[in-house]
Amino acid sequence: AGLQTERLTYENGLLKINYTGGDICHKVFNRSTAIFFYCDPNPNLQPVFLKETEDCTYMFEWHTPFACPPAKSVECSYKDSDGNSYDLSPLIQQKKNWEAISKTSSSQKYYINVCRSLVPHLGADFCRPDAAACLMNGSKYISLGEVAEGLRWENGIFVLKYINGEKCEDHIRNRSAVIHFKCDEKKDNSNPELVTAHMDCEYNFIWYTAAACPLKSNMHNNCTVSNPRTGHLFDLNPLKRQAGYSLFDFVNQRILQLSVCDEPKTSCGGDTGVCITGSHQPSINAGQLSKALTYEDGVLKLVYKDGESCPA
């Protein structure tokens, strides 16, 4: 039903591959196969047969994450001058988008993601690929802006601004969206709310959410840490290895000896957690062992400090 090809085409926002030159059909046509690819975050979907056309073309559609454009994202955590840490990454959507509550019009829908582009799925399929906020007004999809900078702290609340949306009615400015995050410990699964749409150009949203509250201290200094939102405990102690880890730097011809969550066992001796050897140079202490595991912006981190001074 078609010969092998690697020629993928993109037309009118649609990815397609055509297998042509198959067996004769109806004594007139050559059989062919067309597969249309649609962005879908679900990784386990299979191609679906649609129909066979009169000229013997077999048509399939395939929803797959490999057809999704790369998402733009920005930092979604913050530490204030008092040392309080905040993490809004639990609001980042990977499979669907947030729908803002609007009390002005039931025909309009506002789709929002946090700190990254929209997921092009379930209502937001026709929004611009780089949009982080989008208005669906009837059959029209209007970008309200894309991610540009991370969180800002203004007057006791977090502010996230999306810029460079589609042109406003004055054909001069571009639409933008501003999301204000307000701490509310009781709001674990809330939605943003539309506050104003000034001249259909600047859209302001308020979001009462527990994600905007300061993180509680959860460092245990024993290579464990808990997610302050869910309570899930991360434990890196199984990474202990009697001989430690040896990482090879082939570019500079050296070896990095690393101890994780265990007593230091490097050539540098003492409490050194990372030791650099090789290149016919003396061993270098690249940091003291630490078991103070931290969780920030969805990432686990161990920091080894107080190594030797870097060369001037």
**15-27, pLDDT tens digit by residue?**
899 998 888 988 8
- Res 182: pLDDT: 95
Residue 267 belongs to a domain with what CATH number?
A: 2.70.130.10
Distance from C-alpha of 138 to C-alpha of 80, rounded to nearest angstrom: 42
Together in a domain, 84 and 181: yes
Q: For residues 246 and 277, what is the distance between their CA atoms, to the nearest angstrom?
A: 10
Confidence at 143, pLDDT banded by 50, 70, 90:
very high
pLDDT at position 219:
63
Neighbours of 119 (CB within 10 A): 25
Same domain, yes or no, for 85 and 197?
yes
Q: Is pLDDT of 203 > 90?
A: yes
pLDDT band, very low/low/confident/very high, at 113 (cuts 50, 70, 90):
very high
Q: What was the pLDDT predicted at 221?
A: 75
Do 21 and 139 share a domain, yes or no?
no
The answer as to whether 217 is a domain residue is: no
How many other β-carbons are positioned within 10 Å of the β-carbon of residue 186? 8
CA distance 49 to 33: 10
Residue 311: inside a domain: no
Type of residue at 39: C
Instruction: Specify the pTM.
Output: 0.62
Please indicate whether residue 241 or residue 85 has the higher confidence score (pLDDT): 241
91 and 173 belong to one structural domain: yes
The percent of residues above 70 in pLDDT, for the chain, comes to 96
* Domain with 298 in it: 224-302
pLDDT higher than threshold 80 for residue 154: yes
pLDDT of residue 163: 95
How far are the Cα atoms of 209, 225, 286, 287 from residue 305, in angstroms, in the given order? 35, 19, 8, 5
Neighbours of 214 (CB within 10 A): 16
Same domain? 157 vs 278: no
Structurally, how many domains does the chain consist of?
Answer: 3
Task: Give domain status of residue 93, yes or no.
Answer: yes
